[in-house]
Structure 1
Amino acid sequence: MRSVKVEGKRRSENGKKAARQLRSEGQVPGVIYGGKETIHFSANPMALRPLVYTPDFQLAEIAIDGTTYRCILKDLQFDVVTDELSHIDFLELVEDKKVIANLPLKFVGQSEGVKAGGRLEIKVKSLKVRTLPKHLAENIEVNIDKLQLNGNIRVEDVKAGEMEILNSPRIPIASVVMTRALKQAETEEAKGGKK
């Protein structure tokens, strides 16, 4: 699994005034929680970009005062006016402690319904899972080979190995719908058969 290395500096002062001061110096305040202690730190926004502006699920290795913390991204806050990153939260990974994460779905295969002229519609792009850190993956693969025309793949159809999926099992994540051309062809075929 890919990880992004970030150099951070421990913050001595917390609160709005200290955070405002950090932002004026071009730093992003952040916090790491979930481990033995809560660590308040700041980092360069450019170092955080590969974590923030991507659809991929990645680990963050945050180095602060010679200690590296393995984390996952939990929350982001952006300035309402400038749209710049204003705060970032990470959850430290502890080997024997389950974590909740949103993992992107990766659709593999060629749907039978698409081969028949239908159009694949992706309804859900990620699933919320609970698992131990060692079972985390970059994505969850969903095979769509057997997906028929007007068929659905639901959350309950996804095999996630050691991960417990927290989304409602009946939610459709992908379906193959009829295209307008296919509907038109079927209508003309039906009319032709009546004559």
Structure 2
Amino acid sequence: MKQVILNAIKREKTGKEICKKLRKQGLIPAIVYGPHFQPLPIAVKSSELESALIKHKGETILFNLQLANGEPSKIQAILKDHQTHPVTDKIIHIDFLAIHEKETITIDVPLEFIGKPVGISKGGILEILLHELTIECLPSEVPDKITVDISNLDIGDVLHVKDIKVPKGIKVVDNPEETVATILTEAKEVEEEETSEKTTE
């Protein structure tokens, strides 16, 4: 899991008007919460957060929040949720989940698919239905991403959650039978089959 230092300030006041003022100053209102952690309203620099998300796109990030005011002065957290502006798509609010090194966390980790499925060379179409895997483990064991080799997938094959190998110490939370990826028959062939069936009826 990538570690990123993010400067933050404790928000003494909350509310819509305060949040608007913060955004005009290039700050994003946020809240930090978690087990054994009193919810703490903070604000982080928009430029720093966006830079980190772009640099580590597709990877899991552990944020080391450095508070310029208030206690505690340092908080380790992961980005749990965020809200975006409906028009600009800019992040306007963040939920951080404070973590403790010795306590397990539940987190979504990106899936990275490698290899060219054999079914594609036969005219099949790759359909990916799951791009993240929800896992439970200690913070130190959270991987940046989980690599999935799909080179052996043939037409009609289905890859399920239970087929994905994860590192030791990691528990998969998702339904084992949930479909991750499949190789579909080429669209044209499907249309021809449907037309043929209608003709014979």
User: Which whole-Å deviations, capped at 9, do the CAs of 1:97-156 have from their partners, x for residues lacking one?
Assistant: 111111111112332323434222211111211211111011111122332221010111
Q: Distance in 2 between matches of 1:141 and 1:90?
A: 26
Q: Would the alpha carbon gap of residues 119 and 80 (structure 1) be closer, same or farther in structure 2, given more than 3 Å must change?
A: closer
Q: How many residues align?
A: 185
CA drift at 1:4: 2.7
* Match status 1:170 vs 2:196: no
The residue type equivalent to 2:144 in the other structure is E
Q: What is residue 33 of structure 1 aligned with on the other side?
A: 33
Q: Distance in 2 between matches of 1:180 and 1:20?
A: 49
User: Which whole-Å deviations, capped at 9, do the CAs of 1:155-178 have from their partners, x for residues lacking one?
Assistant: 111122322222222221111122
CA drift at 1:180: 4.7
* Match status 1:146 vs 2:152: yes
The residue type equivalent to 2:44 in the other structure is A
**Which range is displaced more, 35-44 or 104-113?**
35-44
User: Which whole-Å deviations, capped at 9, do the CAs of 1:17-68 have from their partners, x for residues lacking one?
Assistant: 4333323433211122226443321122111113555443222222113833
**Which range is displaced more, 65-74 or 144-153?**
65-74
Q: What is residue 117 of structure 2 aligned with on the other side?
A: 111
Q: Contact 1:4–1:50 (CA<8 Å) still a contact in 2?
A: no
Q: Distance in 2 between matches of 1:7 and 1:116?
A: 52
Following superposition of structure 1 onto structure 2, how do residues 7-46 of structure 1 map, counting pairs within 5 Å?
7-34=7-34, 36-46=37-47
* Match status 1:57 vs 2:64: no
CA drift at 1:76: 0.7
4+ residue stretches of structure 1 with deviation over 4 A? Answer: none
Q: Contact 1:111–1:146 (CA<8 Å) still a contact in 2?
A: yes
TM-score by length of 2: 0.78
Q: Secondary structure at the match of 1:23?
A: helix
TM-score by length of 1: 0.81
Following superposition of structure 1 onto structure 2, how do residues 78-97 of structure 1 map, counting pairs within 5 Å?
78-97=84-103
The residue type equivalent to 2:39 in the other structure is T
Q: Secondary structure at the match of 1:112?
A: coil
Q: Distance in 2 between matches of 1:76 and 1:105?
A: 20
Q: Distance in 2 between matches of 1:113 and 1:27?
A: 48
Q: Contact 1:51–1:60 (CA<8 Å) still a contact in 2?
A: no
Q: Would the alpha carbon gap of residues 105 and 42 (structure 1) be closer, same or farther in structure 2, given more than 3 Å must change?
A: same
Mark the runs of 5 or more structure 1 residues left unpaired by the alignment: 188-195
Q: Distance in 2 between matches of 1:125 and 1:105?
A: 5
Q: Would the alpha carbon gap of residues 83 and 147 (structure 1) be closer, same or farther in structure 2, given more than 3 Å must change?
A: closer
What is the RMSD of the two structures over their aligned residues, measured on CA atoms? 2.6
Q: Distance in 2 between matches of 1:151 and 1:62?
A: 44
Percent of paired sites with the same residue: 27
**Which range is displaced more, 146-155 or 67-76?**
67-76
Q: Distance in 2 between matches of 1:98 and 1:165?
A: 13
Q: Distance in 1 between matches of 2:151 and 2:87?
A: 45
Mark the runs of 5 or more structure 2 residues left unpaired by the alignment: 194-201
